Structure formats: structure tokens, C-alpha cells
Chain A
Amino acid sequence: MALHKPYTDIPGTTIFDAEQSRKGYWLNQFCVSLMKAENRARFKADERAYLDEWPMTEEQKQAVLARDLNRCIAAGGNIYFLARIGATDGKSFQQMAGSMTGMSENEYRDMMVAGGRSIDGNRRIGEDGSAQPHRQPQGAHAAKSGGA
């Protein structure tokens, strides 16, 4: 019997379930290795060589090299694991979370200070909130460069 997944109709949201975990096992375990200072140093010295020590898919490695957290999550990554990459780069959780929206760091910070992203229109795919697929990427830069 397939896993029951009542959570696939939420826009811009990937639930880290057993299936995602299997897909992302080595990507996430690579992230765990970055909790040691000596591994962070080795990764920073030659990222590609360090990644090649892990049985990750090429897509997972490319997503890490590009620091594209949405791609990492699609490839089975979980944000609490992926945060080790951001920490290695000296980034905060806010910078990491914001990077997944298309907004600039300041735009995202301003949104949070103004009370955060509204739930209205963002509960289910098919509504018209800011997290809906047809409104990506977000932010002024994205709009100027031809985004929605």
C-alpha cells in the first residue's frame, strides 16, 4: 500500500516523508558531515572533490554547488540538514529560507518584519496567494527580469 499523503496540495511545500528521505539519504548525510569543522574546511577547499566522496546523484551535487535549496529539496534534501551548507557559508536561516522565494534578502526580511507571508490564498494549490506556482519567482528583481 502506498504512503497516505494528505499534504501534497499545499503550495510551495515539500513534506519530508519516507520517500523524500530515501531519495535524499546521501545528500542529507553529506550535510551532516559539515557539522565537523575539519570537514567544512575540506569542503570549502574543493567542493566538487568533497562531494565526489559521497554516493550522491549528479543532480544533487549540482544543486549543492549552485546553492539552489529548492533543487536540493526536490532531490530529497531536508531544510534542517541543508542548513549545514548555509552554516558552512556563514548564512543564517533567514537568508537560506529567503533564497527559496526569489525575493532579495531585504525584501524577505521586510516581509517578515511586516508580519510574514499571509496565509490567505496559500492554503491550497489553485488559490491565488503569493506562494502559488503561477506567481513564482517572487520579488521585484524577478518581476523585472520577466518573471510573473
Chain B
Amino acid sequence: MARITASVYTSHVPAIGAALDLGKTGEPYWQKVFAGYEFSKTWMKENRPDVIFLVYNDHATAFSLELIPTFAIGTAAEFQPADEGWGPRPVPVVKGHPELASHIAQSVIQDDFDLTIVNKMDVDHGLTVPLSLVCGQVNEWPCPVIPFAVNVVQYPVPSGRRCFALGQAIRRAVESYDEPLKVQIWGTGGMSHQLQGARAGLINREWDNAFLDRLVADPAQLSQMPHIDYVREAGSEGIELVMWLIARGAMADVAGGAAPRVAHRFYHVPASNTAVGHLILEDA
């Protein structure tokens, strides 16, 4: 049987990708960001999964205003890095896992979550920057990746409560897959940031750290937080943090098991406009 081994949470700032791709990682500004991922790169080598289920949001890249799926699962064999206007990032093609992705789609949809199934989709920085941060600059990604895109661009976006429940359904789906795969689930985006208007540049360090505390210790209660609190306290783009609740919902303790171990925690301001948060939780 397949199983969830760990969950990884990280911001996915596009400037981090640019810093990597343009060779700026040695600059003091960026060293402070990348220092928080040194542990993670080693951890990833020692705890390599068979598949990464990667929750992220598409930034008006694969999905324009023509089509806005709330939850979209990538079931293709591969996904190309997108041209977001600066040209595609020079990173490896993302290989999917069509069999597991299709199994999860079937299980989760029959568990009452109406996913959109996507067989052709370019993936943007929301997906490739977390991979770069945790896997490093590589010629190929260490394992297949199932992209799972959440709409957080046009309101209404899904509630934290819905995301948390979806994570639980994803765990059930993974555990009902016959092949003995080790699966990591990643939640990305956030933390506090606002990219628009007179309030651009908003950072709320205290709120972010309380979010990290609550995500570890009491995600069920955290999942009840309404959207308006994210937007008011963490900025209009801070709403991306609802995606972290999908990954957290897939951990064993939510299904009645043991509490996860906090393998790593990092927080830094700033990367470009954004507060960088990063957590690794291991299932017992």
C-alpha cells in the first residue's frame, strides 16, 4: 500500500527562481533565504519519496479567465515549465505519475470532492520554485510529481475548512493505492505578502509565526479561520496559505494517528515582496 511519509510547506516566490536561474544565490540578500533550505536539501536526499503530490496555485499561467477550476489534478505523463513572460525557467520537465494521479482523482471525486482532471498543463513558478528550493539545481527532479492546482486568484477561493478536509481525502486515496509507494505531500505559497495597491509590501511576522504554530499543533482549529482574516492580516496574496491546510490534512494525526515530528522550521523576511515560511513534518 502507498503511504504518506511527510509533508513539506514552503513559499514559492518567483524571484527565488530568478535568483537561482541567474546565479545570484551567493549574494547576501539571497544567502539568507537559501540558508533556510540547506537542511531541506540534505533531508530530501535522505528521505527521497517515490512521488511528490505538490499543491500549488497557478498564477494565471495554465488557467486564464477562460477556465478557473477550484481544484485541478494533473494526470499527464509530463508537464512543461511555463513561459510566464520572462521565458520558461531553465529547469527539468516535470514527470507526472498518471497511474497514482488517476487513482487519487477517482478516490477523491467519489469521496465528494469535485476535482478537475487536467491532461495538458504547463506548470509555473508556483510548482517549480518549491522543487528547486528543496531538490536543488538538478538535471532531473528526484521523482515523479503530481501537480495539484488550487484557485486562489479569483474569488471565491476554497475555504480553509474545505482544503483541510480535502487533504484527509487525499490521504485515504493514497492509502488505498496498491503499489507500496512513499508519497510526500507539499503545500506551497504564502506567507504574508501583498502585491497590489498602496498596501503592497505588507508583512505580518507575528501572524505568520502564529500560523506556523497552529498549523503544527492544531490544524483543525486553524482550518476554521475565514478568508477575511488571511487577507486583512497577511495581505491579499497571503490567501495562498489555505493551500498549506491540504497538505496538513493528509497527515496521520488528523486521521487519528500520532502527531507528526517537526523536522525543520524556517522563517525569513524578505524574499522580494514576501515572507518566506518553510516547514517539514514527518509522519511517525
Interface, chain A (partner B; CB < 8 A): 6-7, 10-18, 21, 25, 28-29, 31-32, 34-37, 40, 69-70, 73, 78-81, 83-84, 86-88, 92-94, 96-98, 100-102, 108, 111-113, 115-119, 122-124, 130-133, 135-138
Q: Which residues of B contact A117 (CB under 8 A)?
A: 194, 199-203
Q: Could you name 21 residue pairs across A and B whose Cβ atoms are closer than 8 Å?
A: A7-B232, A10-B236, A12-B198, A13-B197, A13-B199, A15-B155, A16-B154, A18-B155, A69-B196, A84-B60, A84-B84, A86-B85, A87-B86, A97-B200, A98-B201, A100-B198, A113-B270, A116-B192, A116-B201, A116-B202, A118-B203
Q: Does A112 contact B85, Cβ atoms closer than 8 Å?
A: no
Nearest 8 pairs of A and B residues by beta carbon: A116-B203, A87-B85, A12-B198, A12-B199, A131-B199, A12-B197, A17-B155, A80-B60
- Residues from chain A with a CB closer than 8 A to the CB of B159 are none
Contact A28 B84 (CB under 8 A): no
Decide yes or no: A93 and B272 within 8 Å by CB, A78-B60, A119-B233 being known contacts: yes
List, in ascending order, chain A residues with CB within 8 A of B59's CB. Answer: 80, 83
Number of A-B contacts (CB under 8 A): 168
Contact B87 A101 (CB under 8 A): no
**What is the bound-complex CA distance between A35 and B207, given in angstroms?**
35
Taking a contact as CB atoms under 8 Å apart, the answer to whether A108 and B201 are in contact is yes
Closest to B59 in A: A80
Judged by a CB distance under 8 angstroms, whether B204 is at the interface is yes
Minimum CB–CB distance from B230 to chain A (whole Å) comes to 10
CA distance A120 to B198 in the complex (A): 14
Given contacts A17-B156, A73-B196, A116-B273, 12 further A-B contacts (CB under 8 A): A7-B228, A10-B236, A12-B197, A13-B196, A14-B196, A18-B154, A29-B65, A70-B198, A94-B272, A97-B200, A117-B199, A119-B203
Main SS of the interface on chain B?
A: loop
A110 CB, min distance to chain B CBs, angstroms: 11
Give the Cβ gap from B271 to chain A, nearest Cβ, in Å.
Answer: 9
**Hey, which bits of chain B sit against chain A, CB under 8 A?**
13-15, 18, 29, 59-61, 64-66, 82-87, 153-156, 192, 194-205, 207, 227-228, 231-233, 236-237, 269-270, 272-273, 275
